[in-house]
Amino acid sequence: MTDAEVSELHAIAAQMRVNILRMIQVAGSGHPGGSLSAIDIVAYLYLRQMRIDPARPKWEERDRFVLSKGHCAPALYAALAARGYFAEDVLWTLRDIGSLLQGHPDMKGAPGIDMTSGSLGQGFSAGTGIALGGKFQGKDFRVYVMLSDGENEEGIVWEAAMSAAHYKLDNLVAIVDANRQQSDGWITGIMTVEPLEEKWRAFGWEVMRIDGHDFRQIEKSLRWAMERAGKPHVVIANTVKGKGVAEMENNPGWHSRAMTVEMLEAYTREVLSGGHNDRAATQP
C-alpha cells in the first residue's frame, strides 16, 4: 500500500468518524466509543477487502460481514453509506421509529446488512454457520466477523470457535476489536480475557495480533488470512476506544453516551484535523 493510499484511507475513515458522531448526536443515544475503535478496520474491509456489489446487496457470491458487537452499528452504517448502499442522509435517521438503521443491525432493514446482531456472541455463531454453509455449497466467498474483546467472555463464542476449527473453516476470519473496555469499565476489572492469542490457538485457530488503526497492518493480516488454508483465522486488533477524540479515548464513560451540538462541533474539528490519528493502539 502506498503512502497516498494510506492517506486516502485515513481521510475516508476520519469522515466516517464524523458521521458516527453526528448520527449518535442526532439520535440522542448510541455507542460512540466502540464504533470509533472499530471504524478503521470496517472501512478497510468495505473499501479495499471484501468482494461486494452495492447494486446487488443479496448477490450470492459476495463476501459477508457480521458485526457481532452489534451495539456498534454506527460504524457499519457509516461504511455502508460510504460504499454506496444507501444515501448519506439516511444516516441521520439512526434509531428513529421505522428507520432502516436501528440501534442494532437488522438484516431485514438497510441493504448490505448480512446478519442481524446484538446479543453478544450470537453474531459470531451466525457467522460461523454462514461460513459452514458456504463450504457445504462449494462457494468461495469469505466471512468476516467482528467481535469485541469483552464478547470473548461469552461461552457461545468458544462453542462456535471449536466448531469452526473442527470443520476447518478457512473461509472464516474473526476480528477481535481489542479496545480493552466494555459497558461497565475496563475488562481487566470485570472478567479478564487475556491471553487471547493462546486461547484462540488452543481452539485450533491461526492467530495474528496487530495495531487495529494501522492500515498497513490491517492489510497484511487480511492477506495472511487469505493465504493460509486449513484453519479459521483470527486477527486480534489492539485498538483505542473512542479513537480520534481525545476526551473519548480510553474513557469508559463514552461506551454509551450522546453529545451536545457544541460537543459535536468541537469533536468534528478535532477528528478532521487528525490530532489523534498518530496514537498507536498499545496494550499495557
What pLDDT, on a 0 to 100 scale, did the predictor assign at position 275?
58
Torsion angle, alpha carbons of 254, 260, 262, 266, to 10: 20
Using DSSP's 3-state secondary structure scheme, residue 183 falls into coil
What pLDDT, on a 0 to 100 scale, did the predictor assign at position 48?
97
* Residue 152 scores a pLDDT above 50: yes
Torsion angle, alpha carbons of 250, 91, 125, 57, to 10: -140
What pLDDT, on a 0 to 100 scale, did the predictor assign at position 284?
43
Q: Percentage of residues in the chain with pLDDT exceeding 70?
A: 96
Q: Identify the CATH homologous superfamily for domain 3-54+62-273.
A: Thiamin diphosphate (ThDP)-binding fold, Pyr/PP domains (3.40.50.970)
Contact 143, 50 (CB under 8 A): no
| Arithmetic mean of pLDDT, 155-175 | 98
| Arithmetic mean of pLDDT, 184-200 | 91
* Residue 16 scores a pLDDT above 90: yes
* Residue 277 scores a pLDDT above 80: no
What pLDDT, on a 0 to 100 scale, did the predictor assign at position 283?
47
Supply the pTM of this predicted model.
0.94
What pLDDT, on a 0 to 100 scale, did the predictor assign at position 149?
92
Name the residue ranges covered by the structural domains of the chain.
Answer: 3-54+62-273
In sequence order, which residues have a C-beta less than 8 Å from that of residue 199 and are 6 or more positions away? 152, 193
Please, what is the average pLDDT of the chain?
Answer: 94
Count of alpha carbons within 13 angstroms of residue 17, beta-carbon side: 32
* Residue 82 scores a pLDDT above 70: yes
The lowest-confidence range among 28-37, 48-57, 185-194, 206-215 is: 185-194
